[in-house]
């Protein structure tokens, strides 16, 4: 089975560039308001209200865009994970299954030994308690 062909999506780059441009433009607008403030063209309370409104709008837009980008990136991560898994399956040596089974069998044996040691300690503890009661 062939792995799916990967090609970059131009939308991704444009989305991040648009996010950057939007934030840069918000910043330029805020700097313009500060310039107007220095010129004394607006009353200070109005300028501050405009700045707060702009920052609030920017924060809401960033929050929504970042949420959307996060969902997109999670989907991309899952898609590329699947593609990578398919690629690794194609490259895998068929005998690797036997080696993995052998290694897993050894792990299970070691876990059984540890459980048996725990049971023996537990049984010794119980027998000591019984002797102490007598």
With 80 as the cut, is the pLDDT of residue 18 above it?
A: yes
Q: Select from 1, 15, 6, 2 the least CA-distant residue to 80.
A: 6
Which range is least confidently modeled, 1-10, 19-28, 34-43?
Answer: 1-10
Residue 47 placed within a domain: yes
Q: Which domain holds residue 72?
A: 7-92
* pLDDT value at residue 127: 78
Give yes or no: residues 48 and 28 share one domain.
yes
Give the SS3 label for residue 28. helix
pTM higher than the cut 0.75: no
pLDDT tens, 62-71? 999 999 999 9
Give yes or no: residues 99 and 125 share one domain.
yes
DSSP assigned state of 57: H
Give yes or no: residues 49 and 19 share one domain.
yes
């Amino acid at each position: 089975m062939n792995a799916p062909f990967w090609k970059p999506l131009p939308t991704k780059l444009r989305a991040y560039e648009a996010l950057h441009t939007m934030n840069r433009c918000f910043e330029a607008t805020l700097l313009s308001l500060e310039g107007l403030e220095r010129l004394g063209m607006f009353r200070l309370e109005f300028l501050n209200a405009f700045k707060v409104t702009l920052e609030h709008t920017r924060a809401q837009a960033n929050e929504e865009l970042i949420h959307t980008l996060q969902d997109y990136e999670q989907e991309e991560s899952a898609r590329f994970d699947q593609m990578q898994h398919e690629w690794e399956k194609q490259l895998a040596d068929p005998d690797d299954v036997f080696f993995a089974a052998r290694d897993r069998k050894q792990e299970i044996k070691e876990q059984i030994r540890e459980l048996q040691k725990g049971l023996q300690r537990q049984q010794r503890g119980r027998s000591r308690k019984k002797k102490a009661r007598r």
